[in-house]
Amino acid sequence: MTGTDGQSRKRQKPSAVMKHDPLAEIDDLSETPVPVDADRDAGAMENPVTTEAVLDAVSAMPSSMKENAMTDQTELDLGSSLTILDVGDWYQKMAGLCDAGGSISLKGGDIDQIDGAGVQLLAAFIKEAAHLQVAITWTSVSKVLAEAVRIVGLRDAVHISADS
């Protein structure tokens, strides 16, 4: 660093409150060249997704999530458990399905374990689907699921009827 008199000055020692100078390395960084990878940067503007990659991804999906091309309908089997331990994975799956559009049928007939986080996830998913104009229907609802949404007062929010 150069002072007003043209001579080089060193930074002052940090105060006792701050044991280090967070700006001490700035002088060194200003002269360090930034590496440029022209090949990588040029490829960043291209679309790396190919039809083959998409087909491979779809074929790797569980059958419960594959779309029926004739009806644009996706069936989502919710399995037997929808608890706080499961909601992270389910959130990712459900968000992807909402983004894909079409309509989604939920199979909840096997759910034998659900907690508040699971019910909240279903309510948020159905609300987001409605916002994106994705139709949601239930193909089956377990007694455990129906009772859980009734207890927390979200039966209407998740579109489960009283007689389910």
Tens digit of each residue's pLDDT (9 = 90 or more) over 38-48: 555 555 445 45
pLDDT for 68 equals 45
Distance, CA of 3 to CA of 9 (rounded, Å) = 6
pLDDT above 80 for 114: yes
Supply φ then ψ for residue 137, to 5 degrees: -130, 160
Which range scores top for mean pLDDT: 49-58, 65-74, 155-164? 155-164
Please give the Cα distance from 100 to 64 (Å, whole number): 15
Confidence of residue 108 (pLDDT cuts 50, 70, 90): very high
Residue with tokens 């079409």: 102
Q: Cα 164 from chain centroid? A: 30
Token pair of 150 as six digits: 């009734």
Instruction: Look up tokens 């399995």; give the residue.
Output: 79
Angle, vertex CA 118, rays to CA 115 and CA 124, nearest 5: 140
pLDDT value at residue 13: 56
Most distant CA pair in the chain, distance: 87
d(CA 131, CA 133): 5
- Mean pLDDT is highest, among 48-52, 53-57, 61-65, 89-93, for 89-93
Return the axis-axis angle of helices 116-131 and 143-151, rounded to nearest 10°: 90
- For residue 32, CA distances in Å to 29, 40, 41 come to 5, 21, 20
With b for 16 or more beta-carbon neighbours within 10 A and e for fewer, the 121-150 pattern comes to: bbbebbeebeeeebebebeebbebbbebbe
**pLDDT value of position 57:** 60
- pLDDT value, residue 69: 41
Mean pLDDT within 107-130: 95
pLDDT for the residue 44: 46
pTM of the model: 0.57
Average predicted confidence (pLDDT) for the chain: 76
Residue 99 — pLDDT band, cuts 50, 70, 90?
confident
Question: CA 60 to CA 7: how far, in whole Å?
Answer: 67
pLDDT of residue 54: 55
Give CATH for domain 63-151.
3.30.750.24
Least confident of 67-81, 115-129, 148-162: 67-81
